Amino acid sequence: MNAINHFKNPETDQWPLYSSPLPTVIILAFYSTFALYLGPKMMKNRKPLNLLWVIRVYNVFQISHNLFLLITGVTTKNYFGVLFSFGCKQLSPSESADFAKAVDYAFWQYYINKVLDLLDTIFFVLRKKQSHVTFLHVYHHISMVILTFGVGKYFAGVEPQFTGLINIIIHIFMYSYYTISSFGSLFTFHLKYKKFLTKLQIIQFLLVLVHSMMAHYLSCGFNLIVVKFFIFEAAMNLVLFMNFYRKTYGSNRIMPVTMCTPLQLKDVMNGSELKTDQNDKIVDEWPLLGSPAPILTILISYIIFVLYLGPRFMKNRKPFDLRWVIRIFNICNIGHNLYMIIGGFMEPNYTGFLVTFGCLNVSPATRAIFVSSVKRGYWHYFLNKVFDLLDTIFFVLRKKQSHVTFLHVYHHASMVLIMYVIGKYFPGMELAFAGVVNACIHVCMYIYYTIASFGDIFQGHLKFKKYLTVLQICQFLAILINGIVAHYISCGYNLMNVKLIMFESIVNLVLFINFYRKAYGRDRLGKMTKMMICTPLQMREGIVDGKKEKVVDENQNEVKKDDESDSPVIDNWFLFDNPIPIISIAITYVVLMKFVGPKYMANRKPYDLLWVIRIYNLCQIGYNLFMLIRSFFEPGYISNFLSFGCASFTTKQAQMFEYNVFRGHWHYLMNKMLDLLDTAFFVLRKKQSHVTFLHVFHHVSMIIIVWIILKYHPGQAAVIAAFINAVIHVLMYSYYFLSSFGQTFGFVYRLKKYLTIAQIGQFVLVLIYYSLALKFSCGFNMFIVRLIFFEAIANLCLFINFYRKTYGTRGRLDKAQRMMICTPLQHQENRKGSEQILDENQNVKRPDVVDKYFLMGSPLPLIGILIGYVGYVCYFGPRHMRNKKPYELENIIILYNLFQMCYNMYMVYLKQNQVTVLHVYHHVATLAITWALLKYYPGHEPAIVGILNSIVHSVMYLYYTIAAMGPKYRKYLWWKRYITWMQMTQFLIILCYNSIGLYRSCEMNLNVLKAIMVHAFINLLMFMNFYYHAYIKPERHHKKEVREINRNEMQEKKLNSIQLS
């Protein structure tokens, strides 16, 4: 029984305020009347009441109540399993009944808490702080009471659990702040955190919005009306709180550059900021732009009517005949959109600003006229979006409720909301391109609707219906590309607007592509394509035309559910219910270690964590030894390892061995999670230089790969890799533990480099073992073998590169660099003028000329040749030539070898600095993966990869062609860095596309999708690392140097002025 199949609990009718909606309506009516009318009138001629201790008691009670709700929730059995699985966790009937009762009680407690929150406003009124009783404040409190009563009373389920959890945590922080601030000057440290409370509330609505969108597609049995209502409510509160934050903490006297309109920004840069206060007052007088209340009322009424009141009103009525009304509406829309297009292009300087991304230089007077035109254009476009809401009204009144989809309602409501916010508060040229393109699409669209309204008369002209959706998809792609370009080359664009437009384009793009696939994907597909247009649950169960069939992959193997592992036991283990927790952990780790942590420690002293680290190292040693000993003494482990999985077992022994392997994998994942603390210790001790790309990539990739293997492909294939890694970690943490005692165990320092050698050795052993396993294994999952093989190659290259930089590059450094890394004895030798560099054993370093020899600059080419050689001669070559005659290739081989020799010598001798790990890895891995997919998994899964990669390579080689034409064409090569951006974008798109494919694809090989995602993720990280070191780091260094020069000049001027005075 599903956990969210909720039944009516008669006990709830006996709970206070829960018997009927009448008490809640009375409370809210009294609250609104008192807070907005009676209260201010009563307090008009009275002094403010002294409620200090009442408020303190109230705040403490709120903290306690929210803590009680939090603890009760997280300690409820199956709470996290049901929450993070989006209701897909299967419970027994008794567990489901108990969970439903716990949900009912939690909803009632949460409802009572929201009713008590109304006292906030009462206290404001009685203390004569009426300025605090804003529209945001009253709307938020009333909507929360209505929401918690309605959902808790009539639609209680798992849908709001995440929202409630986040909201309770925020309220604990909030009322703690209020309690401390009530003591006045006794505690002043808290005041600097006031604005962060609003930030926390904004973040909570963002989290709720993202969670609800995911739940809309991934949930099992969620009430989608409730989910959509939460999406709308979160979006509404998000806009209101962001507006409050902007007004409270982003006022004009401290307005940051990012909050200025583009035109104001350019004037600030030119030293002549344009005063637009009077113009803003004019905007406030325009219809619907005075305050957010009318537009919020319109949107709420629109959603309630089209989703609830309208269908109920039309239930027993005939459809209205609105043909002429709709024709007139369509013609008006065509005319209005044409007016906006023509008016825009007829406006002086419009095209100039549009094409130059706001970089057109005009006079202040011309700019003032243009500002008024832009705001007037926003108002017209906003009104057009409001009138578009009539589309849905017509659907409801004509009883075509099937047309009122989530896409339809979300698109119309979000467009109105976005246009109001941008047009009212952030008008600028950011939306010019999107507005023009959208107006053109709407002209085509309403022309089609007008023709279609005449029925059979023009039926022959309606063949292009599907192309309207294609045009809409193209518009979102064009807007997205324009937004990406504008983000980097615009002049004074408000980047918040640009990012909002990009986000909205991505959401609409995904929704419209999904709609196109469902609506038009049937024409060219037969019975198999019906799997593509069914619901996710039908697709998983294989329901086609009402008949349940087995879904098969290309190898005719039954496909299991995407959210289930091969073993039902594993699904009940910690972190294995669904992939969301592990993905969240990985993302949080990267964000904290690379961004938040360093920023937090910037102005703090390093923490003294000596004993914490010692205890941590001992725990790691003990944990790894526990896994090693348990594995080593496991019956059949050694024989199975040496026979590549070919050892024979009885059925009972095989089942026991399999279970022990699963359990060992889980322990290994927990160990990898514990490894993440390594990086946290580096950050807290301000050793950020240790947090390298290798370090972060290694830790993140290990937890993700181990999780994937255990969740979806559990088996014995990965056992040997884990065993070797555990041995290395015992040695490694033993070294760390001894080195923490300083000179007491000074001998261990000379062993440091051998740890890296041991790690390199482990990857070589893993490669050798799995190369043999490809040919000799019995029952190993070949996908896992290849995945581990690929991961070992990536780590081998990275660790060899690290070793080369850390221990093997001193001979090629200049004198200044030598002084930075040499020993004290070497410092003395350098001071004496000696150019002979000595290592720790006083041996003379080899000369630099050796590094210039062919294949001697780096070990990477040699290792790549050896790996390719072993793989081909031991496995791929014999398999390929098994049924073929020997080829006669003497002359071809000679010519090929001569060509390769010349080419590689040229690259090594002249362009060695370009043969990076990224370059070698990208080419080798792409070639290997393409070959493997074509050979063993032919299908359409990599199609999107090929298309995107071809587009990027077309642009890339166009750049190379222009660059090869000589210096006179260098002025056209300013867009070099954007090639790297295109490459990163392609990997992001591939990741997003394949992530969707994991849940929404039909007949796709999920193993191939996952392999492509891993490859894209690694390439994305490596290209981001390259972009950072190639462009961002030099720019920061240059800016730092400029600031130092300016600071020195200022100091010199001050000294000169002092001396003169």
Mean pLDDT on 993-1021: 81
Residue 341 contacts residue 439 (beta carbons within 8 Å): yes
283 alpha-carbon distance from chain centroid:
37
Task: Tokens 């889980």: give the residue.
Answer: 666
Q: Which of 936, 767, 762 is closest to 868 using CA atoms?
A: 767
pLDDT at residue 852, as a whole number: 55
Residue 260 has pLDDT above 60, yes or no: no
Mean pLDDT on 776-792: 79
Does one domain contain both 29 and 89? yes
Count of structural domains within the chain: 5
* pLDDT, tens digit, 9 for 90 and up, residues 276-288: 444 455 666 677 7
Its pTM stands at: 0.34
Of 486, 520, 554, the one marking the end of a domain is 520
* pLDDT, tens digit, 9 for 90 and up, residues 894-952: 666 666 666 655 555 555 555 666 777 777 778 777 777 777 778 777 888 888 888 88
First and final C-alpha spacing in the chain: 88
- Distance, CA of 530 to CA of 518 (rounded, Å): 9
> In the Cβ-directed half-sphere of 863, how many Cα atoms lie within 13 Å?
24
- Distance, CA of 495 to CA of 258 (rounded, Å): 7
Q: Which residue has the higher pLDDT, 1060 or 970?
A: 1060
Q: For the chain, give the percent of residues with pLDDT over 70.
A: 78
Residue 1009 contacts residue 997 (beta carbons within 8 Å): yes
- Distance, CA of 1049 to CA of 1053 (rounded, Å): 6
Domain assignment present for residue 490? The answer is yes
User: What letter represents residue 291's amino acid?
Assistant: S
Does one domain contain both 286 and 232? no
pLDDT at residue 2, as a whole number: 43
44-81 burial by CB neighbour count: b if 16+ within 10 A, else e?
A: eeeeeeeeeeebeebbeebbebbeebbeebeebebbbb
Mean pLDDT on 1035-1051: 86
Does one domain contain both 63 and 209? yes
Domain assignment present for residue 569? The answer is no
Residue 532's pLDDT band (cuts 50, 70, 90) = very low
Instruction: Among 334-343, 592-601, 773-782, 865-874, name the one with the lowest average pLDDT.
Output: 865-874
Residue 299 has pLDDT above 60, yes or no: yes
The torsion angle over the Cα atoms of residues 1018, 1021, 1025 and 1026, rounded to 10 degrees, is: 60
Instruction: Among 564-578, 772-786, 888-902, name the one with the lowest average pLDDT.
Output: 564-578
- Distance, CA of 551 to CA of 556 (rounded, Å): 9
pLDDT at residue 527, as a whole number: 37
Mean pLDDT on 785-812: 75
pLDDT at residue 810, as a whole number: 44
- Distance, CA of 63 to CA of 57 (rounded, Å): 10
* pLDDT, tens digit, 9 for 90 and up, residues 716-757: 778 788 888 888 888 888 888 888 887 777 777 778 888 888
475-508 burial by CB neighbour count: b if 16+ within 10 A, else e?
A: bbeebbebbbbbbeebbbbbeebbebbbebbbbb
Residue 141 known to be catalytic: no
Mean pLDDT on 149-167: 76
Q: Which residue has the higher pLDDT, 570 or 769?
A: 769
User: What letter represents residue 17's amino acid?
Assistant: L
Of 758, 780, 807, the one marking the end of a domain is 807
Residue 1024's pLDDT band (cuts 50, 70, 90) = confident
In degrees and rounded to multiples of 5, residue 542 shows phi and psi of 75, 40
Does one domain contain both 792 and 826? no
pLDDT at residue 736, as a whole number: 86
Residue 186's pLDDT band (cuts 50, 70, 90) = low
pLDDT at residue 189, as a whole number: 58
pLDDT at residue 537, as a whole number: 33
* pLDDT, tens digit, 9 for 90 and up, residues 48-57: 888 888 888 8
Instruction: Among 181-190, 619-628, 962-971, name the one with the lowest average pLDDT.
Output: 181-190
Set 6, 140, 412, 699: catalytic member? 140
pLDDT at residue 285, as a whole number: 65
- Distance, CA of 32 to CA of 139 (rounded, Å): 10
pLDDT at residue 73, as a whole number: 78
pLDDT at residue 11, as a whole number: 66
pLDDT at residue 129, as a whole number: 83
Q: 99 burial class (0-12, 13-18, 19+ CB within 10 angstroms)?
A: buried
Q: Which residue has the higher pLDDT, 1048 or 285?
A: 1048
Residue 99 contacts residue 91 (beta carbons within 8 Å): yes
Residue 862's pLDDT band (cuts 50, 70, 90) = low
pLDDT at residue 111, as a whole number: 84
Domain assignment present for residue 983? The answer is yes
Domain assignment present for residue 908? The answer is no
Residue 509 has pLDDT above 70, yes or no: yes
Does one domain contain both 743 and 836? no
Does one domain contain both 1034 and 940? yes
Does one domain contain both 780 and 820? no
Does one domain contain both 681 and 714? yes
Residues in the chain: 1061
pLDDT at residue 822, as a whole number: 41
pLDDT at residue 91, as a whole number: 75
Residue 487 contacts residue 530 (beta carbons within 8 Å): no
Does one domain contain both 602 and 736? yes
Mean pLDDT on 652-664: 76
Instruction: Report the number of secondary-structure helices (H) and strands (E) in the chain.
Output: 44, 2
* pLDDT, tens digit, 9 for 90 and up, residues 243-253: 777 777 764 43
Residue 578's pLDDT band (cuts 50, 70, 90) = low
* pLDDT, tens digit, 9 for 90 and up, residues 687-711: 888 888 878 888 888 888 888 887 7
pLDDT at residue 691, as a whole number: 86
Residue 382's pLDDT band (cuts 50, 70, 90) = confident
Residue 346 has pLDDT above 60, yes or no: yes
* Mean pLDDT of the chain, nearest integer: 74
Mean pLDDT on 768-796: 80
pLDDT at residue 19, as a whole number: 73
Q: Which of 297, 322, 323, 319 is closest to 310 using CA atoms?
A: 319
Does one domain contain both 211 and 304? no
* pLDDT, tens digit, 9 for 90 and up, residues 419-475: 787 777 777 777 778 888 888 888 888 888 888 877 766 666 566 677 788 888 888
Residue 266's pLDDT band (cuts 50, 70, 90) = very low
pLDDT at residue 519, as a whole number: 75
Of 520, 542, 566, the one marking the end of a domain is 520
- Distance, CA of 1026 to CA of 980 (rounded, Å): 9
Parent domain of 942: 916-1061
* pLDDT, tens digit, 9 for 90 and up, residues 398-425: 888 888 887 788 888 888 888 787 777 7
Domain assignment present for residue 888? The answer is no
Domain assignment present for residue 910? The answer is no
Residue 169's pLDDT band (cuts 50, 70, 90) = confident
Domain assignment present for residue 970? The answer is yes
Domain assignment present for residue 870? The answer is no
Does one domain contain both 38 and 127? yes
Instruction: Among 2-6, 83-87, 316-320, name the one with the lowest average pLDDT.
Output: 2-6
* pLDDT, tens digit, 9 for 90 and up, residues 65-110: 888 888 887 777 777 777 767 777 777 778 777 777 787 787 788 8
Residue 799 has pLDDT above 80, yes or no: yes
Q: For the chain, give the percent of residues with pLDDT over 90.
A: 0
Task: Tokens 């490669």: give the residue.
Answer: 767
Ramachandran category for residue 222: left, alpha or beta (phi over 0 → left; psi -120 to 50 → alpha): beta
Mean pLDDT on 997-1002: 75
Does one domain contain both 799 and 756? yes
* pLDDT, tens digit, 9 for 90 and up, residues 582-606: 777 888 888 788 877 888 888 888 9
Contacts of 810 (CB under 8 A, 6+ apart): 818, 821, 822, 837, 839, 845
